[in-house]
Amino acid sequence: MRIGELSKRTGVAVPTIKYYLREGMLQPGERTSPNQARYDETHIHRLRLVRALIDVGGLPVATVKEVLTSVDSPSDNIEKLLGTVQHALFPAPPPSQEAAMQEAAEQQVRAMIDELGWYCRDGHPAVSALATVLVSAQALGHGEFLDTVRRYVAIAEQIGVVDLDYIADRRFVDGMVESVVVGTVLGDTALIALRRLAQVSESAKRFPDRRRPEGQTEVSG
Amino acid sequence: MRIGELSKRTGVAVPTIKYYLREGMLQPGERTSPNQARYDETHIHRLRLVRALIDVGGLPVATVKEVLTSVDSPSDNIEKLLGTVQHALFPAPPPSQEAAMQEAAEQQVRAMIDELGWYCRDGHPAVSALATVLVSAQALGHGEFLDTVRRYVAIAEQIGVVDLDYIADRRFVDGMVESVVVGTVLGDTALIALRRLAQVSESAKRFPDRRRPEGQTEVSG
């Protein structure tokens, strides 16, 4: 198909498709003349992947570019693959103003990971991201948010099991790379959406009349 | 303190502080002369909150502005509060190209919510976000991602319980609004970080030698 039909079938504007082509995010079509190229189903699939990462995953274009580099370098080493995709998807947060607090929080996170018996190599961006969360909470007077994070741990373990099941199930379909990318990005959005719905639902359960009666300040469990 | 000291103590540059003042994201200081104002600890706290939402939560400035509007309109109706904060934090994704598929997926999500006995009012942005995830997965040939989403549901219920415990525990400290905002934004980042660590750890558990032996294509449970 021509670029016009590719645009129509994917809903991506022609200038945007040309931009993706220039940036190497979309593989070139088959040249049919100096000014024309032919595209096929693989281009449709790739455009859908790019749009899913941007629109559904909310990723900036630069991150999408980086993630696509891993998609284009197939590997059957799940751990290495996870590492590459996770690094692209989880850029280190800006260095904390309070270097000493940040370092102490990273030690705390690493101690927590060791205690759990989790495997984690040094320098994983999620460790510093989690440490930054703890430093911020502390600076805002929400130091006890650490207890919430500790309670999240057991929950995250269950997520990890579900996610690896998905990757393992998909490994023969189109290689694991795309499953890791799709599962990670769409999974983040799905989990955050479900978290919101669960909060509303739990709130409605605790406050069945859907609002605290006037003057009542005690929350009934 | 003067603006210079406010900048020094929070690590936020003076021009950025002035921008936040102009945008109404930071309350004005007490005027001491036509060109000078005095700031106090409440300004430090507010700047830390703004930076946490931007740096740790990764929120765009426009979203931070909207979220701060709820922080500045205290309410003791938890459900209403959750609704306001969640709407600001979860802008509806761009309308799907496939309106019919999107509508069908939203029906599917609503049916799932009803089945669970969850309470959710119409038009919650998380419903359309989740539907968009399902449509994208389907379009990418990952239709069975729906099974993963179904498995996430029980996990999300546990997150909702932890989150409401946190909000309830904090309700006398500084009003619930800030706790809802901080818990939601820092919690998103913490959960995503823990998800990454749990994936790596689960992957290391399933593949103890940390890589699949050459030529082996079967994944051992």
Rounded Cα–Cα distance for residues B76 and B90 (Å) = 21
Please state which of the ranges A13-17, A35-39, B53-57 shows the lowest mean pLDDT.
B53-57
- Give the per-residue pLDDT at A216: 44
**Which of B76, B142, B153 has the CB atom closest to A194's CB atom?**
B153
- For the cut 50, the answer to whether the pLDDT of residue A215 exceeds it is no
* pLDDT, tens only, B167-210: 887 766 556 778 888 888 899 999 999 999 999 899 888 877 64
* pLDDT, tens only, A57-106: 888 898 899 888 877 776 667 777 777 788 877 766 666 667 888 899 99
| Rounded (10°) CA dihedral A57, A61, A66, A68 | 70
On whether the CB atoms of residues B51 and B12 are closer than 8 A, the answer is yes
Task: Taking each helix axis as running N to C, give the angle between helix B145-170 and helix B176-206, from 0 to 180 degrees, rounded to the nearest 10.
Answer: 140
Residue A138, class by beta-carbon neighbours within 10 Å (0-12 exposed, 13-18 middle, 19+ buried)?
Answer: middle
Rounded Cα–Cα distance for residues A171 and B143 (Å) = 15
Q: Which residues of B touch A93 (CB under 8 A)?
A: 55-56
Q: Which residues of A touch B102 (CB under 8 A)?
A: none
Closest-CA residue of B relative to A49 is B140
Contacts of A86 (CB under 8 A, 6+ apart): A124, A125, A126, A184, B196, B199, B200
- For the cut 80, the answer to whether the pLDDT of residue A218 exceeds it is no
In the beta sheet, which residues pair with residue B33? Answer: B36
Interchain pair A195, B77: CB under 8 A: no
Closest-CA residue of A relative to B198 is A160
Interchain pair B219, A193: CB under 8 A: no
Q: Which residues of A touch B79 (CB under 8 A)?
A: 200, 203-204, 207, 210-211
- Give the per-residue pLDDT at A191: 95
- For the cut 60, the answer to whether the pLDDT of residue A212 exceeds it is no
- Give the per-residue pLDDT at A20: 96
Q: What integer is the mean pLDDT of A183-198?
A: 92
- Give the per-residue pLDDT at B95: 61
**Which of A79, A156, A170 has the CB atom closest to B204's CB atom?**
A79
Q: Which residues of A touch B127 (CB under 8 A)?
A: 193, 197
Q: A96-101 — which CB contacts under 8 Å span 24+ positions?
A: A96/A131, A96/A132, A96/A135, A97/B10, A97/B11, A98/A135, A98/A139, A101/A135, A101/A138, A101/A139
Interchain pair B77, A211: CB under 8 A: yes
The domain made up of B1-56 has a fold known as Multidrug-efflux Transporter Regulator; Chain: A; Domain 2 (1.10.1660)
Interchain pair A132, B45: CB under 8 A: no
Q: Which residues of A touch B8 (CB under 8 A)?
A: none
Sorted by where each begins, the domain ranges of chain B are 1-56, 76-206
- Give the per-residue pLDDT at A194: 95
Q: Best-predicted range by mean pLDDT among A31-35, A151-155, B115-119, B183-187? A: A151-155
- For the cut 90, the answer to whether the pLDDT of residue B6 exceeds it is yes
Rounded Cα–Cα distance for residues B82 and B88 (Å) = 10
On whether the CB atoms of residues B134 and B109 are closer than 8 A, the answer is yes
Q: Which residues of A touch B200 (CB under 8 A)?
A: 79, 82-83, 86, 118-121, 124
Closest-CA residue of A relative to B151 is A162
- For the cut 60, the answer to whether the pLDDT of residue B102 exceeds it is yes
Query: Mean pLDDT over all residues of chain A?
Result: 85
- Give the per-residue pLDDT at A188: 92
| B179 to chain A, closest Cα gap in Å | 8
CA nearest A187: which of A207, A165, A218? A165
Most A CBs within 10 Å: which of B87, B203, B210, as the mutation test of the A interface? Answer: B203
Give B57's pLDDT tier (boundaries 50, 70, 90).
confident
- Give the per-residue pLDDT at A119: 83
Q: Which ranges of A14-170 would DSSP assign to H, the alpha helix? A: 14-22, 41-51, 61-71, 78-89, 99-116, 125-139, 145-170
Rounded Cα–Cα distance for residues A162 and A165 (Å) = 5
Q: Which residues of A touch B136 (CB under 8 A)?
A: 48, 51-52, 55-56, 186
**What Cα–Cα distance (Å) separates residue A58 from each residue in A10, A25, A50, A54?**
18, 17, 11, 5
- For the cut 50, the answer to whether the pLDDT of residue B220 exceeds it is no
- For the cut 80, the answer to whether the pLDDT of residue B36 exceeds it is yes
Most A CBs within 10 Å: which of B191, B209, B214, B216, as the mutation test of the A interface? Answer: B191
**Which of B80, B178, B199 has the CB atom closest to A163's CB atom?**
B199
Closest-CA residue of A relative to B9 is A97
- Give the per-residue pLDDT at A13: 95
* pLDDT, tens only, B139-175: 888 888 999 999 999 999 999 999 999 888 776 655 6
Q: Which two tokens stand for residue B137?
A: 């997965």
- Give the per-residue pLDDT at B146: 92
For chain B, what percent of residues have pLDDT higher than 70? 87
